[in-house]
Structure formats: structure tokens, C-alpha cells
Amino acid sequence: MDLRRGSQATVNRVVSFPSSHAKSVTTIAEIAQVTTISANGDTHVGNLIACRRQYPPRQNPPP
């Protein structure tokens, strides 16, 4: 039973770690930086995604 409690405590700490160290991304420049990293360093794609995030999604996209 002690092993279960110890492992559960470890799981709880590991799960809470990312949210406690997260940084909010609010500006277009910060979003572009994150999307560029996600696009394997392609700044053009990163900037396109960041610019697109400025606009609300379409309600009825074309087919």
C-alpha cells in the first residue's frame, strides 16, 4: 500500500509540473516563435500560422 501511495504522489507531481511552469503566450511575436518551433524552424510557416490566429474562425467554411 505504501508503494501505491508513493507512486501516486510521484504521478501527481509529474502531472502538475507542466502547468505550474507554463508561460502564457499572448503576443503575435510569441505565437510566431512557438509556431516556428512547431514548424521545424520554418519561419514562413510559423508567421503564417501566427497571423492566421489573429482572426476568428469562419462559421461556415467553404466546402
C-alpha cell at 10: 510521484
- 59 is written with which cell numbers? 462559421
Question: Would you say the pTM of this structure is higher than 0.75?
Answer: no
The answer, yes or no, to whether residue 61 has pLDDT greater than 70, is no
- Cβ-based burial of 48 (10 A; exposed 0-12, middle 13-18, buried ≥19): middle
Contact by Cβ (8 Å): 49, 35: yes
pLDDT of residue 63: 60
Q: What is the pLDDT of residues 21-40, one digit of tens each?
A: 888 888 999 999 999 999 99
Helix axes 28-38, 43-52, angle to 10 degrees: 130
Residue that wins the pLDDT comparison between 2 and 62? 2
